Amino acid sequence: MLLEVKHLTTEFHLKKGVVNAVDDVSFSVDKGEILAIVGESGSGKSVTSLSIMGLISPPGRIAKGEILFKGNDLTRLPLHELQKIRGDQISMIFQEPMTSLNPVQRIRDQIMESIMTHMKLTKEEALRRTVEMLDLVGIPSPEARANDYPHQMSGGMRQRVMIAMALSCRPELLIADEPTTALDVTIQAQILELLYSLREKLNMAVLLITHDLGVVAEAADRVVVMYCGKILEEADVKTLFTSPMHPYTVGLLESIPRLDDERERLSMIRGMVPNPLHMPPGCAFSDRCDRCMEKCRKHMPALVPVNGSKVRCFLYSEEVEEDRHE
């Protein structure tokens, strides 16, 4: 097991109260596996990735849980030890490359900085590796483009630069937070194909954070569905798309437009995501669920195994989450 997250809770202390952005989340990622975490904005998927990287800053904090990377709990490591792992063994691609790249530094300098921080290479060796990485991610004329500034590149090229930077030290785990957001469909497909091929070449695990189920279907091996900080369903990608269990997952899949769809209007999940400062006492999805029962409004169901998958719903279990911690 490469990465194992156990009962992770990340909270934000605000003036109006405490928000559990990630609430008792557990999952694992094996070597060479692509695990997708999917959900609406505010579901806690990005906070989960930042928690793994140790990038949660006040008013946020990891309240409890373990993040085991190759058996070592990252939450207990001192900062200098965590910094050795971050960018080297674990790398991250952030959502928007234009804000993640330094606009006044050349591309080569930004990638070389990461390489020279973690690897014992001379400046000349680091430059050669930079050009190799730019070539690996499909940037044409990499020697020349290494001298460019971020604004001289298209959105797709900048995203490739971010991937090159993240992969420059050959990490064992790559966290990709919405890697195809704001890119056109053709570039999205190229970036996904690139991630998939690099996984094959480097035997690298990928934690893919996205709200796009099309991206999930294209790239992932397994899927975790999050809503309001909790995992509602976990399954392999084929099972999730052919036999979804949780009503929220069903609603997400039914809202996807299809070429053979004869409906006049797309399906939609009614209602709104609840205010994180005023969460309902039971299941957070209860007010939006067409199959809601009375107990759903009073109790939180536990995440239980069902036919090789996991689901948090009273349609599949009578178990209540509070009982599990007794």
DSSP string across 64-85: EEEEEETTEEGGGS-HHHHHHH
pLDDT of residue 322: 62
> Closest Cα partner for 139 from 126, 125, 153, 123?
153
Where would I find the H helices in 180-236? 185-202, 213-219
Average pLDDT of the chain is: 91
Residue 180, SS3 per DSSP: coil
pTM of the model: 0.90
The position carrying tokens 């959502």 is: 95
- pLDDT level of residue 323 (50, 70, 90 thresholds): very low
Q: Could you tell me if 3 and 205 are in contact, meaning their C-beta atoms sit under 8 angstroms apart?
A: yes
Strands 230-236 and 309-311: antiparallel
pLDDT band of residue 170 (cuts 50, 70, 90) is confident
Distance CA 105, CA 115 (A): 15
| % of the chain beyond a pLDDT of 90 | 67
- Confidence band of 18 (pLDDT split at 50, 70, 90): very high
Confidence tier at 309 by pLDDT (50, 70, 90): very high
User: CA-to-CA distance for 301 and 87, rounded, in angstroms?
Assistant: 37
Predicted pLDDT of residue 182: 65
- Residue 34 C-beta-side C-alpha neighbours within 13 Å: 23
Cβ 22 vs Cβ 8: under 8 Å:
yes
Contact at 8 Å (CB) between 7 and 24?
Answer: yes
Q: What is the pLDDT of residues 50-63, one digit of tens each?
A: 999 999 999 999 99
**Which two tokens mark 104?**
């006044």
* In contact, 304 and 235? CB cutoff 8 Å: no
Q: Rounded to the nearest 5°, which phi and psi values hold at 274? A: -65, 155
How confident is the model over 215-250, as pLDDT tens digits? 899 889 999 999 999 999 999 999 999 999 999 999
- Indicate the pLDDT class of residue 140, thresholds 50, 70 and 90: very high
Could you give the angle at the alpha carbon of 248 between the alpha carbons of 242 and 254, nearest 5°?
Answer: 50
pLDDT given for residue 189 in this prediction: 82
Instruction: Assign 174 a pLDDT band (cuts: 50, 70, 90).
Output: very high
pLDDT, position 311: 98
Average pLDDT over residues 295-324: 89
Under 8 Å between Cβ of 198 and 167: yes
pLDDT level of residue 202 (50, 70, 90 thresholds): confident
Handedness of CA 216, 217, 222, 226 (dihedral sign): positive
Given a cut of 70, is residue 99 above it in pLDDT? yes
Classified by CATH at the fold level, domain 1-89+175-257 comes out as Rossmann fold (3.40.50)
Per domain, the residue ranges of the chain are 1-89+175-257, 99-170
Cβ count within 10 A of residue 196: 15
- For residue 73, list its beta bridge partners: 68
Say which residue, 123 or 95, is predicted with more confidence: 123
pLDDT score of 274 more than 70: yes
What mean pLDDT is predicted for residues 201-206? 88
> How confident is residue 179, by pLDDT bands cut at 50, 70 and 90?
confident
pLDDT at residue 98, rounded to an integer? 67
Q: What is the pLDDT of residue 324?
A: 42
Record the tokens describing residue 59, joined without a space: 């008013």
Residue 137: its pLDDT value, please?
86
